[in-house]
Structure 1
Amino acid sequence: MDANRGLHGTVRTKDGWAVRHAIVTVTDLTGDQVAREQTGEDGVLAAGPLPAGTYTVIVTAPGFQPAASTLIVSSAGIADIGKIVLARAGDVELPPAGTWTIDPAHSIIGAVAQHLGLTSVRGRFASFEGRIEVAEPVEESTVTARIEAASIDTGNKTRDDHLRSADFMTADVHPVITYESDGLTGAGPDRWTVHGRLTLNGITHPVDLDMTYLGSGTDPWGGVRAAFRATAELRRADFGIRFNQILEAGIALVGESLKVELEIQAVRGEELPQA
């Protein structure tokens, strides 16, 4: 049998990664469906022959915009759709698959808490490290991070010492805060929800991050960087942090929840550049 005969082609993302299990629908000029096939794990389509003629090919996949093209099948039975490129929904491309190392010098891990029910107190952690493993499919990507609890900085030494104490993070007993994710799901045209577990004060609790991918590009040191912004809402009680003080007016000194704010730059590869 001639290997060129039959329906062939590949489906890829804009950056060249395979789109697994994309649905390829072929219709004739009257709009009737004549074939419906699926790409393999490698994004390759290989199916049976079609009668000679002109057809319309529509390619769809979850999380991607559909694409259509014209297919002409020769009398020899060759039906090659070539390479079909699918754009992600919202036309937001994610960084290439592989390891990305978080750059602490150009990243911020911060938190905001309510004080007296009136104003916000902002703090940040000065010492942390992490890694992002971008997978294909992207939904299987993972994030891991380690944060030094004692590196909290709110701009006030007395307050920082209190936050390190047993009333809050118990940093001398539980010096490291960790985050480990196990996948993500789309949450909009340019947003993703990262599903993971945060360990704080010795207690592990599920925490989802609302993440936006901001883009990627080269840096002055010959590397490639990707940027992300993410937020999460934490309840202090979920991590055994119940200290509070109620004032005479019934107002809590510290709010029961806090907002985590992340601004992350990650460098492609397992090592940071020597800058």
Structure 2
Amino acid sequence: MTTTTGAGLRARIRTRDGWAVRHAVLTVTDMTGAQVLRAQADEEGAVRVAEALAPGPYTVIVTAVGYAPAASTAIVTASGRAEVGTVVLARQGGVELPPPGPWTLDPAHSTVAAVAQHLGISSVRGRFTEFGGRIEIAEDLARSTVEAEIQAAGIDTGNGMRDGHLRSADFLDVERHPLLEYRGTRLSPAGPDRWTVHGELSMHGVRRPVDLDLAYLGTGPDPWGGVRAAFRATTELRREDFAMHYNQVVAAGIAAIGTTLRVELDIQAVQGTRLPTA
């Protein structure tokens, strides 16, 4: 191959949701199957080769770890230039973004949990047993929204006395504030198959901005003829930000309950506005 002004090969390697596939490998073969070019995509998923190719048709094969290979035909012009354009790679295992539209949270197959440090040496895990919500996935993913309501009285840590205390005015104060409400108003990308949900949480009579670190786990059919999408989301909350200042100090000044809660959400959502009745 020789270098000619304006000659060479250009390509962009992307996932179906538009992410660059870094360090994908692009291989070009002629019509006899002989390899004539092999190049690696850069950090932006771009392949740029300056050397000219002989005019004619070629086969372009793109591979990357974790993705199914993709093949296409490229025509090299008389100037020795080939514009492959955008090559889209699908993830192995079929992980794709869920289709746009409404999705309903399925509480029976979802978990809303929180973890707090206890005595500075171990953790106490609790979960909310009553909740519901809806996800609206937009054509422009960044405009997607989330709405969720959680019954504060549904807190369950596996200990009745502790649960009663958590429902009291020292913590959730369920008599005055029976609902925890989250409204996510937009998403921003944080990596392939990962996003940040930007929103607000209302708890204990206080509303604060709270972002969720969101991972999309995939979509598939369910036994009732529907389609489900799975997500995992995490965040951390400071109790004092929601006016929950109660604490008990034990020996050596160690607080009985940590001031920070780690929230862990494992969510299944059903496509549409209703849950299956079966």
Does TM-score exceed 0.5, indicating one fold? yes
What's 2:198 paired with? 195
Q: Is 1:249–2:245 an aligned residue pair?
A: no
Is the 2:96–2:219 contact (alpha carbons within 8 Å) kept by the matching residues of 1? no
What's 2:149 paired with? 146
**Deviation (angstroms), 1:69:** 6.4
2:253 match: secondary structure: coil
**Deviation (angstroms), 1:190:** 2.7
Q: Is 1:132–2:135 an aligned residue pair?
A: yes
**Deviation (angstroms), 1:113:** 0.4
Once the two structures are superposed, residues 173-223 of structure 1 have per-residue CA deviations (whole angstroms, 9 ceiling, x without a partner) of 010000000111111223111111010001011111111111111111000
Among all aligned residue pairs of Structure 1 and Structure 2, give the percentage whose two residues are the same amino acid. 62
Is the 2:112–2:128 contact (alpha carbons within 8 Å) kept by the matching residues of 1? yes
Once the two structures are superposed, residues 50-102 of structure 1 have per-residue CA deviations (whole angstroms, 9 ceiling, x without a partner) of xxx99xxxxxxxxxxxx9966769xxxxxxx99975759xx952100010000
Alpha-carbon spacing, 1:249–1:13, altered in 2? closer, same or farther (3 Å): closer
What's 2:3 paired with? none
> Pairwise mapping of residues 11-90 of structure 1 onto structure 2 (< 5 A)?
none
Is the 2:95–2:219 contact (alpha carbons within 8 Å) kept by the matching residues of 1? no
Q: Any runs of at least 4 consecutive aligned residues in structure 1 with deviations exceeding 2 A, and if so which?
A: 67-73, 81-88
Once the two structures are superposed, residues 216-249 of structure 1 have per-residue CA deviations (whole angstroms, 9 ceiling, x without a partner) of 1111100001111111100001100110111131
2:196 match: secondary structure: strand
> Please, which of 81, 98, 101 is the counterpart of residue 98 of structure 1?
101
Aligned residues: 232
What's 1:45 paired with? none
> Pairwise mapping of residues 81-230 of structure 1 onto structure 2 (< 5 A)?
93-230=96-233
1:162 match: secondary structure: helix
Is the 1:186–1:192 contact (alpha carbons within 8 Å) kept by the matching residues of 2? yes
RMSD: 3.9
Once the two structures are superposed, residues 129-153 of structure 1 have per-residue CA deviations (whole angstroms, 9 ceiling, x without a partner) of 0111111121111111000000000
2:251 match: secondary structure: coil
Is the 2:95–2:217 contact (alpha carbons within 8 Å) kept by the matching residues of 1? no
Q: Distance in 1 between matches of 2:277 and 2:159?
A: 32
* TM-score, normalisation: structure 1: 0.71
